[in-house]
Chains A and B, each alone.
Chain A
Amino acid sequence: MTAPGGTSGTDLDAPTAGRPRRRPDLRVSARGVRTVALLELRQRLRATRWFVVLAVWVAVLVGVSLLVRAAAAATGDLDELGSLLFSAVAFLVLGMGLLVVPALTATSVNGDRADGVLAPLQVTLLSPLDVVLGKLVTAWLSALVLLAAAAPVLLWAVLAGGESLLRGLVVLVVLVVVLAAVCALGLGWSALVARPVASAVLTYVTVAALTVMAPVLFGLTTVLAEEQAQVQVRQPVSYSESGEPQGCEEQTYDQPVYRTDRTWWLLAASPVVVLADATPRPADTTTEAGVERVDPLAAIRTGVRTARRGPELEQDYCAAATAEELLADQQEADAAGAVWPWGLGGLVLLGAGAAALAARRLQVPYGELPRGTRVA
């Protein structure tokens, strides 16, 4: 870029008032998207040792899954092994996806600009949307390859645990959508921020904020959501020597309750919660011993849906914790309505917004340039 010319300072007073507003270029064409995607694919596939990446990816998945299986077999009930293993693999794929996928796009736009390969595309007939969607499609395809490599491990977990194929399929579909949103997020930051390092950090911070910090915030804000309420409690009058409840009395207490029905959406924002809530419960939700089956996915689902319902103003401690009771709790929670459409919808909207922002930032000719941005 050229340094300022030798002109007087009087121009500072009338900077850019004359620059006319332009209609945004909203064209998009299949050929344009394809052109950009092919260019990106060729460049990135050849530039990275993707085979190594894929091998490491699969090795880690298989290794950790085997460890989970060994640990579960050594300590737990073999009856519960299946759901535990399946949940572990599902979370593992999600977690590793959230670690790897942001890297696919987080320096896409500003990195290209730094390499001097963005402007040559912008002066062609390609529209900003062509460029953004082409990049997005490429990154998303790469994420799909990672998921495809993870699919056999997931299938193994499904089969080894006697889980239904539907659960595995839902996990994959949710991951496909979540990772697409993450790709778009990285693209948005890379278009917004001039320096690749900064956009990479911001992308990871955003993903971490959604995945971990939002649930933590949910935990912290329960204090703020505390309220005094009249709660009807049924409790045993006394217990027998063997611990059986005897008699039952009902009392009303003025006690604090947590209005999680106001803050549940903080949980919904997390991809972990979205994945858990969207995944159907295991076919058999109780073990042979009649206690609740350890299934982290289903547990999160129950938890988040219960949170969404808010505090119970009637509590019953008289009834024994039977399997039927557990089932009733789960059904009650499920009846409160799915949380994942909100979470997934939010993620998709966020991704779409980020992509739209990126397309906006790629509109040429540039008017005012953001600080630190070069044209070419």
Chain B
Amino acid sequence: MTSGDEDERAARENGAGRAAAVTGRTHGSGLVVRGVRRSFRGVVAVEEADLEVPAGSVTALVGPNGAGKTTLLLVLAGLLAPDRGTVLLDGVDLAADPVAARARTGWMPDALGSWESLTGRELLRAMADAHGVPRAQARRRVDELLALVHLEDLADARAQVLSRGQKQRLGLARALVHSPAVLLLDEPASGLDPRSRVELRDTLRRLAGEGVAVLVSSHVLSELDELADRAVLVAGGRTVDVVEDVGAGGRGADDGTARPTRPWRLRALDADLLRRALADRGLPVREGPGGLDVVLGGELAAARLLAELVADGVPVVAFAPATGLLEQAYLELDERSRR
């Protein structure tokens, strides 16, 4: 029905290593938003939104409550008509062909509703039907998704017995049922326990790795830090800034490429000794809450510094990334907007 199905079939025929593929999608053209504005009865919720989510990346939509994140995502999901501006979803103009655009888009709302009396399997089958996924594929697809979100054991339990986190995971599976090229997630990690967050992060990374353009909104920065490649900052209904290469868990995290400088927080039993040791190395030190903040070139530099400090007999008890880039940018943004 959609090109997604064809992609999927093509991917299957290609064979090797595709069993684990979540979407089997080849790289598309992602999400492009230009000059989108949306108001409600003259009250502007989104003033001017410009952003891009390249295929194969995870982009965070960051901003304080009321910045217009949810409204923007509703526009992108095809539920709200923008007053002006264009939205291209995997190359399809949302205004020109809303149905084709919806076929390429998966959306997980922040207020996640559920059909309480349906089991997860029934729900996903119904959603596959609603998306016109051929029946023969739907069964396999549903099993895949249940495995992906670790709900196989609960596949035949009614939604009313699922916990909030489990419903949240089912919601993600629901958004993925038609193998979308663009995935829109509104506060997906709220209510998730730490383990589920890690799983969510891994799942989204994997989807991005398969060529899906993922846009995640949140105001919990710590979770985005680990998850996103890039962040688009939103304030007062405008996209104000883009921060590239944000998280420690970003794409470049373990491939040895140069990381951007970021602050690390150190604490030692003897604070003066630590301060002196850092000063000896010519590292500028900032007094942070519960430790000293030092800006380092990357994880490699951090590991080296730690080894040296320990070798020098500095009793280090804490050595960890301090606030992420994202948090820094966000706080700066917040400060600017309050000024």
Residues of A with Cβ closer than 8 Å to B? 1-7, 11-12, 15-16, 18-20, 22, 25, 27, 31-32, 34-36, 38-39, 42-47, 115-126, 364-369, 375-376
Contact = CB atoms under 8 A, between A and B. Distances in A.
B150 interface: no
Contacts of B337: 6
Nearest to B70: A2
B118 A42 contact: yes
Given A5-B47, A11-B44, A35-B130, A19 B111 contact: no
Contact of A4 (B66, B117, B130): B66
A364 B107 CA distance: 14
Interface string B65-79: 111111100110111
Contacts of A119: 77, 79, 109, 113
Contacts, number: 159
A34 B80 CA distance: 26
A25 B45 contact: no
Nearest to B238: A5
The listed residue with most A CB atoms (<10 A of its CB), out of B81, B174, B178, is B81
Nearest to B123: A39
A20 B111 CA distance: 28
A125 B84 contact: no
Nearest to A113: B113
Contacts of A19: 81-84
23 contacts: A1-B40, A1-B45, A1-B70, A2-B69, A2-B70, A4-B40, A5-B46, A5-B237, A15-B41, A15-B83, A20-B81, A31-B129, A39-B118, A42-B117, A43-B116, A44-B117, A46-B118, A116-B109, A125-B130, A126-B130, A364-B79, A364-B98, A365-B82
Given A5-B238, A368-B41, 16 more contacts: A2-B69, A3-B65, A4-B40, A7-B47, A11-B39, A19-B81, A22-B98, A39-B126, A46-B118, A47-B116, A116-B112, A120-B113, A125-B131, A126-B130, A364-B78, A366-B81
B230 interface: no
A1 B215 CA distance: 18
Interface in B4-40: 39-40
Contact of B131 (A1, A39, A124): A124
Contacts of A35: 126, 129-130
A262 to B, nearest CB: 44
Given A18-B83, A117-B115, A5 B45 contact: yes
Question: Which applies to chain A's interface (DSSP): helix, strand, loop or mixed?
Answer: loop
Contact of A365 (B1, B47, B81): B81
Given A5-B44, A5-B238, A18-B83, A120 B174 contact: yes
B132 to A, nearest CB: 5
Contacts of B47: 5, 7, 11
B192 to A, nearest CB: 18
A360 to B, nearest CB: 15
A47 B117 contact: yes
A126 B103 CA distance: 10
Contacts of B43: 4
A87 to B, nearest CB: 40
Interface string B224-235: 000000000001
A197 to B, nearest CB: 19
Interface residues of B, number: 59
B79 A123 contact: yes
Contacts of B69: 2
9 closest cross-chain pairs (CB), A and B: A116-B113, A5-B237, A46-B117, A124-B130, A6-B236, A3-B66, A365-B81, A35-B129, A117-B113
Nearest to A364: B79
B102 interface: yes
B305 interface: no
Contacts of A364: 78-79, 98
A5 B236 contact: yes
A4 B81 contact: no
A35 B177 CA distance: 15
Contacts of A121: 130
A193 B43 CA distance: 22
B161 interface: no
Nearest to A15: B42
B327 to A, nearest CB: 21
B74 A375 contact: yes
B283 interface: no
Nearest to B158: A46
Nearest to B110: A376
Contacts of B113: 115-120, 376
Nearest to B100: A125
Given A5-B47, A124-B127, A365 B68 contact: no
B114 interface: yes
B79 A365 contact: yes
Contacts of A3: 45, 65-66
A126 B238 CA distance: 32
B95 interface: yes
A7 B236 contact: yes
A42 B122 contact: yes
Contacts of B68: 2, 5
A35 B174 CA distance: 15
A366 B80 contact: yes
A32 B130 contact: yes
Given A117-B114, A117-B115, A375-B80, A5 B130 contact: no
